[in-house]
Structure 1
């Protein structure tokens, strides 16, 4: 008789990875796949929720310094953006009208667990997560969230979702490359003006025209921190198991132009930018989001 061992969040590799975390034993136990998950019914998301920061909230995508959830790449219902929600609705009308957005402008990884709790309370079957830019976009480099803290917070947040919605799925989008943002806007006097007046992402965008060795090194360090966050995201998602999918750095690697940025701040995606994120991230869900991945498991 064949026996299958549960690997999600309990593999030896992942245990070694998270030994630095406080309370890892309790967390691992929380995330263990429940015994008896033998359902063969196709997975059909009825309720979805966007979690994260200003990008998922659609901030500045349709107005002056306001969230615009209708333009969100995740749960927006504007036809131009063609969000995950609209694509799912085109496949199965059961999700129609059940697109929740708990993303908050300015949120950091410290806020994700609270957003997860809201999604669980509302019975979300599918959540998208894009968070971390504000962990790096702070006033000084020394205030950036350490990578191990960021990873622990992501792990704990996904633990909460697994516990509350064991049959749900999680999509994790990578954090955009803010150095690419600097590169496309550094020669534009209007963009530089907005960055300066609004004190937008000073760790990366301060002194945008400077070519000094110190400023070049600073930008590289901030980009490196975001790349490390994205690597942590991928590790946590992979350890979660087949019910989590990451975008494989699709957003981080995506080229974009000033035409994809809001003219209110030259930082957040406008409608075109939100559409680009929706397109690239949904491509990463092919063969996963509409298939049943909860196969029968037997713990020895």
Structure 2
């Protein structure tokens, strides 16, 4: 009876030893000799996301691209550029341009450049960006789009899809040449408000007859249904342009849109040119510089 009890225990022990030995051999074969088996990627392991570039609130150089507003048109004399009064790069002490505020007067003189051109449309921006890229600026300011809406008629305004394509091309060019340069994009001004303010000035309305923004400013005192609809169409196109600027800029980690600050700014008589009551005066240019400086220096422009 005693021998019969012990035989099963011996058999179990022997079987266990064989099983453990086989397991050990299999483990060695799977891992290549006696080295530990390699660890595979965990299902929970994910690649670390690339950090979002930090906005530099203290750029050391600046280039401006855009249209007549950035050229200071009609800020100093009638129907003439006045780049020294430019909100972006001007040297006039009354304006205190963005470049002056950011860089200081002495450094701004040699480290800021203005490639904007009166009459320029969004289609012209790529060429201006190519010029600016030669200077390798740390910040590029963009103010363009008003001339795409300011056409001889509302029907001749730049289509929104074309406007988008032109801006995207300019941004691609900028990124190809200047991958780390920051970009500050302003909204297109509220042209209808400028009409509303300027139509109270007799001299301004005479200058408008020379062809300034006819799509909005033609027949400024005409308030019939057709004229009202024409102005509403132009206004709607400006709003659509600003949506494009916001959308395209949002796709670039180093681009900052002004959030509609220029469009929302309520220019009055003091901020409008005394010669055409449409373009910014020196006071108006100074207000644009202030808006830009505030947003470029903000760590979080949405705060």
TM-score after normalising by structure 2: 0.79
Contact kept, 8 Å, 2:270 with 2:283, in 1: the verdict is: yes
Question: Does the alignment pair 1:222 with 2:234?
Answer: yes
Contact kept, 8 Å, 1:73 with 1:84, in 2: the verdict is: yes
Match for residue 128 of structure 1 among 133, 137, 141:
141
Contact kept, 8 Å, 2:198 with 2:278, in 1: the verdict is: no
Match for residue 297 of structure 2 among 281, 286, 289:
286
What is the CA–CA distance in structure 2 between the aligned matches of 1:88 and 1:257, rounded to whole Å? 26
- 2:74 alignment partner in structure 1: 60
Shift of residue 235, structure 1, vs aligned partner: 0.4
Shift of residue 185, structure 1, vs aligned partner: 1.8
Structure 1 portions without partners, runs of 5+: 9-36, 290-300
What is the CA–CA distance in structure 1 between the aligned matches of 2:225 and 2:57, rounded to whole Å? 53
- 2:249 alignment partner in structure 1: 237
Query: What does the per-residue CA deviation read over 1:214-254, in whole Å, with 9 as the maximum and x for residues that have no partner?
Result: 1111101100101110110000110112x111110000011
Query: What does the per-residue CA deviation read over 1:126-166, in whole Å, with 9 as the maximum and x for residues that have no partner?
Result: 11000011101111112100011111111110111111111
- 2:63 alignment partner in structure 1: 49
- 1:24 alignment partner in structure 2: none
Q: Highest Rg: 1 or 2?
A: 2
Contact kept, 8 Å, 1:186 with 1:209, in 2: the verdict is: yes
Aligned pair count? 256
- 2:268 alignment partner in structure 1: 257
Question: Does the alignment pair 1:89 with 2:133?
Answer: no
What is the CA–CA distance in structure 1 between the aligned matches of 2:294 and 2:58, rounded to whole Å? 18
CA RMSD of aligned residues (A): 2.4
Structure 2 portions without partners, runs of 5+: 1-44
- 2:217 alignment partner in structure 1: 205
- Aligned to 2:70, the other structure's residue is in SS state helix
- 1:272 alignment partner in structure 2: 283
Match for residue 117 of structure 2 among 83, 86, 104:
104
- 2:194 alignment partner in structure 1: 181
Shift of residue 104, structure 1, vs aligned partner: 0.2
- Aligned to 1:129, the other structure's residue is in SS state strand
Shift of residue 97, structure 1, vs aligned partner: 2.0
Task: Identify which of structures 1 and 2 has the higher relative contact order when contacts are C-alpha pairs closer than 8 Å and 6+ apart.
Answer: 1
Q: Measured at CA, do residues 61 and 95 of structure 1 come closer, stay the same or move farther in structure 2, by a change above 3 Å?
A: closer
